[in-house]
A and B are shown apart, each in its own frame.
Chain A
Amino acid sequence: MNKLTKELLKKNNTREKAIFKSNNDIYTNMIVYLRGSDLTEYDQEVVRADIIELILDGQQRGDDIQKVMGGQYKEICDEIIEVMPKKTKKEVTLEYVVISLNALWILGVIALVKNLITNVISEENQMVFVLTLGDMINVAVIIFVANIIIWYVTQTAFEARADKKILTYLKIWFIATVIFGAIIFNSIYIDMVVVSISLWLIAVILLLIFITGKMISKKVS
């Protein structure tokens, strides 16, 4: 995220606090839906600033979000998405690279801490970072599932869920159990060592991944 986008995001975060609680759910649904679109992060923030302004102006007159937006929130968001310029292929690629690098350093730090604890506890104390095939599969599973969750949440932002709360809860509980079960199974039973290097070296590699991710991120609008 570049500087301009970051500044606008901060301003919007502050301004949206003035939105009344009664208007907040629909406003959030609109923003979540727009987040799932192919608008650039900067354009998402520009639109968000305008929507906040419309809502706050409406609140000032005593109008709720229903009156301000005319009730057809998804259709309005679809029209906004249709009008705004889309991310270029380069922007999409850079965004995927940044997300992947971020996922790598975050999961890498978790693995590093896990390895550090194991090394400290063990009597050998060799300070070695061990990555098994199971760990690698888990990284892929976590990134895939995270993407699916984001896609699902953004695409269903306007769907009424109130009448199916228990069913939805059971579905989520079942899916989460299967995923966590698979992750635990992978880390226990798929223990073929793929990487075994110094903990310090992996710390440097993770730092480099982090810095590279930040540098590319500044170029993404």
Chain B
Amino acid sequence: MLIPSQMLKGILEGCILEIIQKRETYAYEIAKQLEEYGFGSISEGTIYPIILRLQKNELLKGTLKDSNSGPKRKYYRLTVKGVDNLNQFKDNWQEMSLAVNQLLGGEDNE
């Protein structure tokens, strides 16, 4: 699946930051976690440009490390800027979800 809109891309960026904050991880594991949280089937190729963008904005840092099985993998961890950005995302999300819920709830009540 390709990410269809700018908004979803922004949300995915925040979610990827949250997954990486929990522990240092790599592309496949990030995709799997997103899938487990109900984002549907997302390939590593789909999230790779997002990871690149986060790296470009210095929110992530990638390090090539040996894996238990097979070739080396690039593991990502948050930078200080990344942690700040994630906190900012969480605040924004709270505000937005509250507003949307109120709006949708209000619609139901009308």
Contact = CB atoms under 8 A, between A and B. Distances in A.
Interface of A: 15, 18, 47, 50-51, 53-54, 56-58, 60-61, 67-73, 75-76, 79-80, 82-85
A58 B28 contact: yes
A57 B56 CA distance: 23
Q: Which 9 A-B pairs have the closest CB atoms?
A: A70-B43, A69-B45, A79-B49, A60-B70, A56-B71, A83-B53, A83-B52, A76-B45, A70-B45
Given A54-B27, A61-B28, A70 B1 contact: yes
B26 A76 contact: no
Contacts of B44: 54, 57-58, 68-69
A84 B20 CA distance: 21
A54 B69 contact: no
A85 B74 CA distance: 21
A15 B72 CA distance: 10
Grouping DSSP codes into helix (H, G, I), strand (E, B) and loop, the B interface class, with mixed when no group exceeds half, is mixed
Contacts of A56: 70-71
The range of chain B's interface size is 20 to 34
B99 to A, nearest CB: 29
Contacts of A15: 71
Contacts of A58: 28, 44
B43 A67 contact: yes
Contact of B74 (A18, A50, A72): A50
A74 B53 CA distance: 18
B104 interface: no
B74 A70 contact: no
Tell which of A53, A56, A69, A85 has the most Cβ of chain B within 10 Å. A53
B61 interface: no
Interface centre among A72, A73, A79, A82 (most CB of B within 10 A): A79
A70 B52 CA distance: 17
29 contacts: A51-B48, A53-B71, A53-B72, A53-B73, A54-B28, A54-B48, A56-B70, A56-B71, A57-B26, A57-B44, A57-B70, A60-B69, A60-B71, A67-B43, A68-B43, A69-B43, A69-B46, A70-B1, A72-B2, A72-B46, A73-B45, A76-B2, A76-B46, A76-B48, A79-B49, A82-B49, A83-B49, A83-B52, A83-B53
A61 B52 CA distance: 23
A18 B71 CA distance: 10
Contact of B49 (A53, A61, A71, A76): A76
Nearest to B51: A50
Most buried by A among B49, B56, B74: B49
A39 B15 CA distance: 28
A53 B67 CA distance: 11
Given A54-B27, A80-B49, 17 more contacts: A50-B52, A53-B64, A53-B71, A53-B73, A53-B74, A54-B44, A54-B45, A57-B26, A57-B28, A57-B70, A57-B71, A60-B70, A69-B43, A69-B44, A70-B45, A79-B49, A84-B56
A59 B48 CA distance: 17
A119 to B, nearest CB: 55
